């Protein structure tokens, strides 16, 4: 075995090794987890094939009809098997690819999290459960794509993937809520039978658009495709997994899953087919001129996802069949090719196609896997890819609408696919031996096991497709079409138009490969277009967002207490004033309330103190005058028979005067007074606030008090809570939870005050 | 920080125990008469603040023996545990549980009284944390 190379050039790579996760067997050990899930799922195949669908449901938030429920039918079973089978191989691969990486343990954790989230998406029965797992895949892929967090590009790509798919996720949530409400159930297994109800509803189109926004962002359809090629900043195991079995297929899964409910309409057909076709062509054209192996593969994934979407848009049984077969085909070859790209990078030190040549001599097993995978990608017999492509053409030829255009687009995309398969395979593996940054060796077993297994599976299923067709594809198609469907697959279809198209495709593809410079020049305008395309919109959007954030932060969070107060008071005046004016009928001439002479006296004292505060040129005097107002209010409480409030008010006033004095003690003397203009502004704000409060009190007291709570508390205080003091009983019993929250908030605030003060003290000491 | 005053110092020494006793009195009677954990805590804090003004922060810390921040945490724990006790009895969180017989001097005892005690401790802890930190320097 050759010496292991650290993939990440990070400074921490050599530190902290030797945890159990760095044991060579750790990856194998962890792979047991998905493998056993896979075996369990395989055990269900017979029952699912017999038409049973298996449900499991736990109450979660029953009052909102949210259940933690799962169900297994053909479609979810197919996806779950891909996720677990490829997941197990990826774990083994990762143990070799990232051997010695200091954060290997964390990587395993993220990967398993991702796997579990994907399984949750495809097995979920409840729409909300599905959404939670859906967002979990966004989150965990964020962690995975940004795994090399020291590199800025990795962080940026991770954020981009999160923002795009997360934003789509929010749209999806809205769509799912609409769907659940219109369909009358949040359980998919029930909704699947209510397609007509949903399609006939007035809100069908918005619902469809929202769901499609979720699916298209996740599965990188135009114009949301740009995040996927960037996501190859992730380590190779992640790319392989992301592209082959998981996240990007989640959108496809959703489209397939919901096609019995949402599909079959004009809107569905045009939206899904057009997005799919644009993505299929755009992805293939953008892939062709790339030189980075991973980037090429990433763009071809975009293209394939487009093809799958296109098929689901056509929405015939034949198209569903083609989609399911093509899904398996793509998972097998793309998983293999990405792992191979990683292994080549690992061994030869580069992924640049211009530098790679003649790897066959050094890496025979990897070359074998690459050959089989590339053949499958090009759609050549006897690989499963051939069957997939034949079905693809058949479905497109028999599409109910625009068959000619759809087929032409498909042929063009497939021609490019053939050329790209040749590009990826021929020179790097079979070209002349040249010097590469490192002299390559055959990769260790962990690195070739996955690609070889997946590539061989593509060959074996291609040669003997019957079992797969009967147990996995037929059940999946039945689920997508919501009716029992038989599926027979065969390599040889006889001489027919489809075969002619295949031959034509391969011939053109090889031509395109040999005249690749010409083709590259032909698709060049697309790159110019891409420069002002969605990627650029995304950048502009981010810049605009941070611009707005800066502007409003400068405006609202200036750091000066006085401007915060101003903002708070102005907002209150604005909102409360608006509500008051628009909702309540104000008495034009409020009658002056009748008051006792001592009440007038107290009011006069308060007014005098207020004037004193404003006119005072000493802080201490102002605080004392403020205290007078507080005590006067407490006095009013006493007079109106609220001893609890009065007592509290007295204590609070006393303590706030003490605290004020302690603070003032530390402040410098007034150096400057505020400008007259600022004082005028403050006076206006203060008058407005005071006027508003006065009006508010008048409005409230004008309406007769009707509180059903007063009676309830008065009646139940003693019998239910053993207390005669209603105020206290409310605080500690009826609304005890509120009080618990309040004292927690107070405690947190006190810790904040303490930290701020200590910080100041520490600064002073330093000086 | 503040000029020592003999009169204030003597007065506070006799007032402090009285004020503290009063604050506990407020706490206990709160369920039936005006009072309660919040006011009780404020009164206790005010008593200690007075003591700090008269004798200095160090003296207060010595008398208290625990850091006021510990009081905050302890208070939150006490309040929370009073709610958890009802869970142990198989009742919803924060259901009031009462001891049937009245205890001399203290009156009827139940988890709301315990909860109020938690509030009392939190309030004393918060205000003393702020005042003592401000007064120190």
Per-residue pLDDT reduced to its tens digit, A648-672: 999 999 899 888 888 887 777 766 6
Beta bridge pairs of residue A59: A67
What DSSP element (H or E) covers A67? strand A66-72
* Cα pseudo-dihedral A380, A386, A392, A394, rounded to 10: 100
Instruction: Report the pLDDT averaged over residues A698-715.
Output: 77
Give residue B3's pLDDT: 58
Which residue in A740, A747, A757 is closest to B134 by CB distance? A757
- Angstroms from B100 CA to nearest CA on chain A: 11
Burial A631-655 (b: 16+ CB within 10 A, else e): bbbbbbbeeeebebbbbbbbbbbbb
Contacts 24+ apart (CB under 8 A), A113-120: A113/A140, A113/A143, A114/A140, A114/A141, A114/A144, A114/A241, A114/A246, A114/A247, A115/A34, A115/A83, A115/A84, A115/A87, A115/A246, A118/A83, A118/A245, A118/A246, A118/A247, A118/A250, A119/A37, A119/A80, A119/A83, A119/A84
Cα separation, B78 vs B111, whole angstroms: 10
Q: pLDDT tens digits for A621-640?
A: 888 899 999 999 999 999 88
The answer to whether residue A3 scores a pLDDT higher than 70 is no
**Cα-based distances in Å from A507 to A419, A422, B50:** 10, 12, 96
Higher pLDDT: A496 or B77? It is B77
Q: Do A761 and B136 touch (CB under 8 A)?
A: yes
User: How much is the pLDDT for A629?
Assistant: 93
Higher per-residue confidence, A614 vs A121? A121
Is 90 exceeded by the pLDDT of residue A22?
A: no
Q: Give ∠ CA B6-B11-B15 in degrees, rounded to 5.
A: 150
User: What is the spatial distance between Cα A511 and Cα A415, in angstroms, rounded to a whole number?
Assistant: 9
Band the pLDDT of A86: cuts 50, 70, 90.
very high
Rounded CA separation A625/A657 (Å): 10
Confidence of residue B68 (pLDDT cuts 50, 70, 90): very high
Whether the link from the prior residue into A762 is cis, omega within 30° of 0, is no
**Contact partners, residue A343, CB within 8 Å, separation at least 6:** A97, A236, A363, A366, A443, A447, A448, A451
Q: pLDDT class for A64, splitting at 50, 70, 90?
A: confident
Give ∠ CA B3-B8-B11 in degrees, rounded to 5. 160
Q: Average pLDDT, stretch A31-60?
A: 87
Measure Cα distances from A275 to A186, A282, B108 in Å. 28, 10, 73
Tell me whether A736 touches chain B (CB under 8 Å): yes
Give percent above pLDDT 70 in chain B: 96
Q: What is the dihedral of CA A69, A74, A80, A85, to 10 degrees?
A: 150
Report the Cα A754 to chain-centroid distance in Å: 38
- For chain B, what's the residue count? 137
Chain A hits for B94, CB-CB cut-off 8 Å, are: 736-737, 740
Q: Token pair 């990188």 is at which residue?
A: A220
User: Is-cis flag, bond preceding A447, omega within 30?
Assistant: no
At residue B110, does pLDDT exceed 80? yes
Q: Which two tokens stand for residue A721?
A: 């809570």
CA distances from A221 to A130, A424, A483, A614 (A): 21, 24, 28, 64
pLDDT given at position A573: 93
pLDDT at A348: 86
Which residue reads 């040999």 in tokens?
A: A514
Q: Compute the CA torsion angle A440, A444, A450, A455 (nearest 10 deg).
A: 50
Instruction: Tell me: pLDDT of A456 over 70.
Output: yes
Confidence at residue B42, expressed as pLDDT on a 0 to 100 scale: 94
Nearest CA in chain B to A730: B31
Rounded to the nearest angstrom, the minimum Cα separation between A721 and chain B is: 7
For A754, which of B32, B34, B129 is closest by C-beta distance?
A: B129
Q: Full-prediction pTM beyond 0.80?
A: no
Minimum-distance CB partner of B94 among A658, A737, A750: A737
How many angstroms separate the Cα of A701 from the Cα of each of A694, A704, A705? 11, 7, 8
- Supply the DSSP string of A547-592, one letter for each residue: HHHHHHHHHH--S-HHHHHHHHHHHHHHHHHHHHHHHS---SSPPP
Compute the CA torsion angle A766, A767, B4, B10 (nearest 10 deg): -20
Contacts of A658 in chain B (CB under 8 A): 46, 49, 53, 131
Q: Say whether residue B56 is in contact with chain A using an 8 A CB cutoff.
A: no
Mean pLDDT, range A169-181, rounded to an integer: 94
DSSP helix, strand, coil percent of chain B (3-state; round to 5): 70, 5, 25
Task: Please say whether the beta carbons of A734 and A713 come within 8 A.
Answer: yes
Smallest CA–CA distance, residue A745 to chain B, in Å, is 11
Chains A, B: CB pairs < 8 Å: 142
ipTM of the prediction:
0.91
Question: Are the beta carbons of A754 and B127 separated by less than 8 Å?
Answer: no
Give percent of chain A above pLDDT 90.
39
pLDDT at A17: 57
Q: Does A520 touch chain B (CB under 8 A)?
A: no
Query: Which helix (H) or strand (E) covers residue A264, if one does?
Result: none
What local confidence, expressed as pLDDT, does residue A517 receive?
A: 85
Work out the mean pLDDT of chain A and round it to a whole number: 86
What is the tens place of the pLDDT at every residue in A267-287? 999 999 999 999 999 899 888
pLDDT of residue A524: 78
Residues of B in contact with A729 (CB under 8 A): 31, 112
* Digit-coded pLDDT (tens) for A554-598: 888 888 888 889 999 999 999 998 888 887 666 655 666 677 788
Residue A2 reports pLDDT greater than 50? no
User: Element (H or E) spanning B83, and its range?
Assistant: helix B68-88
Q: What is the largest CA-CA distance in chain B?
A: 57
The distance between the two most distant Cα atoms of chain A, rounded to a whole number of Å, is 110
Contact A186, A128 (CB under 8 A): yes
- The alpha-carbon gap from A739 to the nearest alpha carbon of chain B, in Å, equals 8
Size of chain A in residues? 767
Nearest CA in chain B to A642: B34
Residue with tokens 């702020």: B130
**A5 has pLDDT over 70:** no
What counts of helices (H) and strands (E) characterise chain B?
Answer: 5, 0
Helices (H), A584-618: 597-615
The mean per-residue pLDDT over the stretch A230-252 comes to: 85
Residue range A510-515: mean pLDDT, rounded: 90
Chain A hits for B130, Cβ within 8 Å: 659, 750, 753-754, 757
A719/chain B closest Cα distance in angstroms: 12
The answer, yes or no, to whether residue A729 has pLDDT greater than 80, is yes
Q: How far apart are CA A599 and CA B103, in angstroms?
A: 43
Query: Hey, are the CB atoms on B126 and A728 less than 8 Å from each other?
Result: no
């Amino acid at each position: 075995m050759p010496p292991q190379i650290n993939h990440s050039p990070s400074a921490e790579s050599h530190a902290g090794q030797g945890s159990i996760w760095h044991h060579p067997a750790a990856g194998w050990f962890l792979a047991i987890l998905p493998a056993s899930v896979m075996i369990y799922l395989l055990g269900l195949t017979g029952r699912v094939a017999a038409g049973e669908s298996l449900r499991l449901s736990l109450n979660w938030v029953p009052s909102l009809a949210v259940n933690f429920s799962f169900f297994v039918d053909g479609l979810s079973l197919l996806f779950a098997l891909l996720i677990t089978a490829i997941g197990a191989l990826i774990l083994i691969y990762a143990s070799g690819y990232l051997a010695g990486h200091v954060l290997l343990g964390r990587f395993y954790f993220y990967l398993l999290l991702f796997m579990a989230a994907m399984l949750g998406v495809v097995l979920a029965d409840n729409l909300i459960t599905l959404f939670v797992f859906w967002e979990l895949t966004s989150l965990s892929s964020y962690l995975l794509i940004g795994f090399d967090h020291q590199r800025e590009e990795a962080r940026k790509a991770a954020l981009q993937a999160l923002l795009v798919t997360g934003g789509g996720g929010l749209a999806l949530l809205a769509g799912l809520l609409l769907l659940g409400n219109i369909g009358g159930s949040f359980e998919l297994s029930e909704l699947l039978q209510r397609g007509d109800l949903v399609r006939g509803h007035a809100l069908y189109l918005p619902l469809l658009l929202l769901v499609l926004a979720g699916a298209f962002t996740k599965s990188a359809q135009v114009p949301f495709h740009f995040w996927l090629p960037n996501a190859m900043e992730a380590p190779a195991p992640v790319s392989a997994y992301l592209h082959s079995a998981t996240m990007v297929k989640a959108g496809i899964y959703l489209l397939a899953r919901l096609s019995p409910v949402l599909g079959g309409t004009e809107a569905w057909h045009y939206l899904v087919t057009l997005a799919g076709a644009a993505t299929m062509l755009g992805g293939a054209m953008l892939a062709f001129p790339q030189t980075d192996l991973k980037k090429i593969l990433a763009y071809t994934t975009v293209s394939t996802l487009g093809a799958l979407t296109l098929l689901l848009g056509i929405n015939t049984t034949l198209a569903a069949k083609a989609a399911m077969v093509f899904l398996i085909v793509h998972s097998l070859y793309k998983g293999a090719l990405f792992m191979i790209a990683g292994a080549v990078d690992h061994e030869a030190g580069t992924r640049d196609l211009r530098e790679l040549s003649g790897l066959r001599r050094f890496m025979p097993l990897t070359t074998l896997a690459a050959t089989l995978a590339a053949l499958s990608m090009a759609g050549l017999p006897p690989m499963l890819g051939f069957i997939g492509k034949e079905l693809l053409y058949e479905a497109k030829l028999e599409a109910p609408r625009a068959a000619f255009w759809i087929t032409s687009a498909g042929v063009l995309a497939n021609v490019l696919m053939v050329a790209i398969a040749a590009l990826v395979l021929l020179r790097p593996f079979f070209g002349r031996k040249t010097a590469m940054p490192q002299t390559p060796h055959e990769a260790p077993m962990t690195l070739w096991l996955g690609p070889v297994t997946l590539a061989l599976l593509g060959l074996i299923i291609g040669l003997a497709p019957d079992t797969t067709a009967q147990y996995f594809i037929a059940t999946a198609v039945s689920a997508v079409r919501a009716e029992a469907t038989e599926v027979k697959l065969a390599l040889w279809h006889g001489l027919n138009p489809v075969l002619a198209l295949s031959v034509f495709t391969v011939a053109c593809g090889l031509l395109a490969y040999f005249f690749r410079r010409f083709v590259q020049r032909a698709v060049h305008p697309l790159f110019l277009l891409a420069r002002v395309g969605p990627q650029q919109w995304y950048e502009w959007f981010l810049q605009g967002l941070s611009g707005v954030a800066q502007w409003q932060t400068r405006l609202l969070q200036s750091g000066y207490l006085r401007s915060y107060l101003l903002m708070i008071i102005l907002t209150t005046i604005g909102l409360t004033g608006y509500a008051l004016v628009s909702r309540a009928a104000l008495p034009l001439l409020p009658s002056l309330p009748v008051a006792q002479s001592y009440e007038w006296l107290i009011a006069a004292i308060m007014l005098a103190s207020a004037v004193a505060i404003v006119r005072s040129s000493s802080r201490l005097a102002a605080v004392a005058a403020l205290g007078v107002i507080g005590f006067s209010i407490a006095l009013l409480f006493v007079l109106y028979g609220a001893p609890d409030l009065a007592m509290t008010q007295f204590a609070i006033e006393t303590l706030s005067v003490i605290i004020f004095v302690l603070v003032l003690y530390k402040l410098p003397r007034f150096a400057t007074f505020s400008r007259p203009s600022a004082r005028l502004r403050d006076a206006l704000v203060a008058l407005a606030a005071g006027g508003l409060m006065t009006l508010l009190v008048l409005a409230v007291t004008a309406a007769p008090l009707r509180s059903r709570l007063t009676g309830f508390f008065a009646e139940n205080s003693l019998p239910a809570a053993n207390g005669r003091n209603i105020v206290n009983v409310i605080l500690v019993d009826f609304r005890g939870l509120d009080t618990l929250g309040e004292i927690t908030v107070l405690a947190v605030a006190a810790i904040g005050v303490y930290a701020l003060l200590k910080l100041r003290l520490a600064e002073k000491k330093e000086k | 920080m503040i000029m020592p005053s003999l009169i204030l110092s003597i007065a506070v020494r006799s007032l402090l125990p009285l004020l503290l006793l009063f604050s506990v009195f407020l706490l206990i009677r709160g369920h039936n008469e005006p009072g309660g954990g919040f006011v009780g805590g404020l009164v206790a804090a005010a008593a200690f603040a007075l003591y700090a003004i008269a004798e200095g922060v160090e003296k207060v810390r010595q008398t208290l023996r625990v850091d006021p921040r510990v009081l905050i945490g302890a208070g939150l724990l006490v309040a929370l545990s009073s709610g958890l006790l009802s869970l142990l009895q198989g009742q919803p969180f924060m259901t009031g549980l009462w001891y049937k017989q009245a205890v001399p001097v203290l009156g009827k005892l139940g988890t709301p009284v315990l909860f109020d005690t938690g509030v009392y401790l939190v309030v004393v802890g918060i205000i003393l944390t702020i005042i003592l930190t401000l007064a120190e320097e």
